[in-house]
């Protein structure tokens, strides 16, 4: 009745292979590397620091002459373990002054309300670099981006293992299935 052929994921998924060093080889024979970027808390900075950081980011985009992709992954966090930890610390110090206990209890209630309405997010930031030629050129591009990010105050980590790349790719597909 239905003669429609169902294609496997391998037929449309653009990844040909993932090397042990974390390099992704695409079906078009390009190489892809991923940097995980640790964010800075921009809103805790002074106005002058914010301006310097923004100018540093502008310089990044002016100074790179190759394509990059920036991916932000936002996931809901379960704060139950944090709540339990704070409650245990609160119970350990039962003899603390009542004003401090009141503040801790209010804080616990606040975190519990965030947890209930799922308003707590964790964000992961990635920069993806794709190169159509030799491996050493992609390494140069990654080094340049890391150096430029350091000037902005960001730490970055090059994903150098096959297992970590697989976890990252899998996490994006899990999020899509859940939503």
Could you read off the pLDDT of 47-65 as tens digits, one per residue? Answer: 998 898 889 889 888 888 8
Half-sphere exposure of 113 (CA within 13 A, CB side): 6
Give the range among 104-108, 150-154, 155-159 with minimum mean pLDDT.
104-108
Q: Could you give the 3-state DSSP secondary structure of residue 164?
A: helix
Helix or strand holding residue 115 (H, E): helix 98-116
Residue 126 pLDDT level (bands cut at 50, 70, 90): very high
CB atoms within 10 A of CB 24: 21
Reading the block at residue 30, the tokens are 């390009």
Global pTM reads 0.67
Residue 133 gets which letter from DSSP? S
The model's confidence at residue 42, banded by pLDDT at 50, 70 and 90, is confident
Q: Could you say which of 3.40.1360, 3.30.70, 1.10.287, 3.10.450 is the CATH number of the domain covering 11-74+123-178? A: 3.30.70
Between 9 and 102, the more confident residue is 102
Rounded Cα distance, 171 and 114, in Å: 23
DSSP letters, 16-82, are EEE-TTS-EEETTS-EEEEEEEE---GGGS-HHHHHHHHHHHHHHHHH--S-EEEEEEEEE---HHH
Where residue 174 falls among pLDDT bands split at 50, 70, 90? low
């Amino acid at each position: 009745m239905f003669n429609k052929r169902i294609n496997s994921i391998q037929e449309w998924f653009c990844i040909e292979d993932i090397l042990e060093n974390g390099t992704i080889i695409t079906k078009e024979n390009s190489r892809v590397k991923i940097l995980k970027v640790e964010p800075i808390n921009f809103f805790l900075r002074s106005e002058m620091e914010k301006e310097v950081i923004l100018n540093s980011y502008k310089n990044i985009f002016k100074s790179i002459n190759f394509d990059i992709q920036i991916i932000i992954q936002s996931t809901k966090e379960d704060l139950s373990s944090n709540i339990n930890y704070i409650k245990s610390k609160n119970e350990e110090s039962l003899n603390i002054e009542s004003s401090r206990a009141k503040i801790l209890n209010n804080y616990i209630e606040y975190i519990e309300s965030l947890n209930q309405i799922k308003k707590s997010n964790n964000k992961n930031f990635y920069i993806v670099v794709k190169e159509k030629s030799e491996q050493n050129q992609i390494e140069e591009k990654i080094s340049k981006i890391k150096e430029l990010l350091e000037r902005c105050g960001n730490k970055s980590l090059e994903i150098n293992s096959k297992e970590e790349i697989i976890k990252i790719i899998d996490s994006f597909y899990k999020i899509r299935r859940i939503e």
